[in-house]
Amino acid sequence: MHSRPSPRLSVTILLTILAGLLAAMAGILGNLAASTIPPAIIPYVRFAWPALGVVVLLGIGVSVWQVRRDAAPSSPSSSARQKIAAPALAPTQKQNASSNYRTCVLSYATEDQAFAEKLHADLQSKGISCWFAPHDLKVGDKLRTQIYEAIQKKDKLLLILSEHAVMSDWVEREVELAFERERQPSGTLVLFPIRLDDAVMQTNIAWAGDIRRIRFIGDFRQWQDDVAYQRALQRLLRDLHA
């Protein structure tokens, strides 16, 4: 692909042609001047033509210099300066959605791992800060210590109740910690229960019976049906909203 000539180069060519024409005219007019112009003015006329030629040549020289300067490739230092001067990428304007929701800890029995994984992924996708042991524990961490610390720091204990959870000593201890926080002077409600089956509604275990009597329990019993699951999830998101 051919590049278009620089406008300054075209001007330079035109000035060169004009200089040639002026030089030819100068010779003709000089001869005429010798015969028609008074002798007293002839020295000034002879000086004027060379001066005009010098001015034209200076204009041509300046134009040529500008063309060569524009055509010269950028030096490495100038390229580096351009890179440095390039504007930084604008920071993302997406706000952290977690500021609009309560933070939480997932409490569940190992047998309900599949549901817990699914729920955790959906909460994370909505920007909710949700502590989940398989994702947040580091190698070598003391399991109980880290879970208990998380319960103390997060807003809610999101308790997944099922026949397995009702029988779990670990889940029972986590519920007790949530109740201990609620008994503190702030009086904040920490326990946030949802259920996967009817076990909590039928059991005689004391702590599960207490939850049944004093708390509304979210219903995820049909969580394997996508429509029912999404409906229950939207209700949960609404209730977790700060």
Q: What is residue 216's predicted lDDT score, i.e. its pLDDT?
A: 94
Measured CA to CA, the distance from residue 209 to residue 203 in angstroms comes to: 7
Same-domain pairing of 123 and 13: no
Strands (E) in 26-144, as ranges, are: 104-107, 130-131
What pLDDT shows up at residue 229?
Answer: 97
β-pairing verdict for 156-161 and 130-131: unpaired
Confidence at residue 48, expressed as pLDDT on a 0 to 100 scale: 61
Question: What CATH number is attached to the domain comprising 206?
Answer: 3.40.50.10140
Q: Are residues 139 and 191 in the same domain?
A: yes
Give the whole-angstrom CA distance, residue 127 versus residue 241: 11
Check whether residue 224 and residue 154 sit in a common domain.
Answer: yes
CA 179 remoteness from chain centre: 40
User: Quick one: what percent of the chain has pLDDT higher than 90?
Assistant: 40
Instruction: Give domain status of residue 81, yes or no.
Output: no
Number of helical H runs and strand E runs in the chain: 11, 5
Q: 190 in a domain, yes or no?
A: yes
Asked if residue 173 and residue 63 are part of one domain, the reply reads no
Task: Indicate if 181 and 218 belong to the same structural domain.
Answer: yes
Which residue from 163, 108, 168 is spatially nearest to 132, judged by alpha carbons?
108
Phi-psi sector, 127: left (phi>0), alpha (psi -120 to 50), beta: left
Q: What is the rounded CA–CA span in Å between residue 44 and residue 25?
A: 17
Same domain, 39 and 111: no
- What is the arithmetic mean of pLDDT over 224-231? 96
pTM: 0.57
Model confidence at 4: pLDDT above 90: no
> Cα–Cα distance between 235 and 242 in angstroms, integer?
14
Within-domain flag for 14: yes
Are both 11 and 113 inside the same structural domain? no
Please list, in sequence order, all residues whose beta carbon lies within 8 angstroms of the beta carbon of residue 142, skipping any fewer than 6 positions away. none
Residue range of the domain that includes 21: 7-72
89 is a domain residue: no
Q: Which residues contact residue 127 at a Cβ distance below 8 angstroms, ignoring those fewer than 6 apart? A: 96, 97, 98, 100, 101
Identify the pLDDT of residue 186.
Answer: 72
Asked whether the beta carbons of 211 and 200 are under 8 A apart, the reply is: yes
Helix (H) or strand (E) holding 159: strand 156-161
pLDDT digits (tens, 9 = 90+) for 176-190: 999 988 888 777 889
Residue 218 confidence (pLDDT) = 95
- In this predicted model, what pLDDT tens digit does every residue of 129-173 receive, in sequence order? 998 877 766 655 556 677 778 888 888 999 999 999 999 998 999
Same domain membership, residue 36 and residue 154: no
Burial string for 208-225 (b: 16+ CB within 10 Å, else e) reads: beebbeeeeebebeebee
Note whether 232 and 180 are same-domain residues. Answer: yes
| 206 within some domain | yes
- Name the residue with higher pLDDT: 231 or 96: 231
pLDDT score recorded for residue 95: 40
Q: What percent of the chain has pLDDT over 70?
A: 55
Q: How many domains does the chain have?
A: 2
Is there a single domain that holds both residue 66 and residue 119? Answer: no
Residue 84 is assigned to a structural domain of this protein: no
- Report whether pLDDT(61) > 80: no
User: What is the per-residue pLDDT for 86?
Assistant: 39
Whether residues 53 and 138 share a domain: the answer is no
Residue 213 has φ and ψ, to the nearest 5°, of: -80, -30
129 lies in the same domain as 233: yes
End-to-end CA distance of the chain: 62
Instruction: Please check whether residue 213 lies inside any domain of the structure.
Output: yes
* Cβ burial 31-45 (10 Å sphere, 16+ → b, else e): eebeeeeeeeeeeee
Residue 83 domain-assigned (yes or no): no
How much is the pLDDT for 198? 96
Task: Tell me the pLDDT of the chain averaged across its residues.
Answer: 76
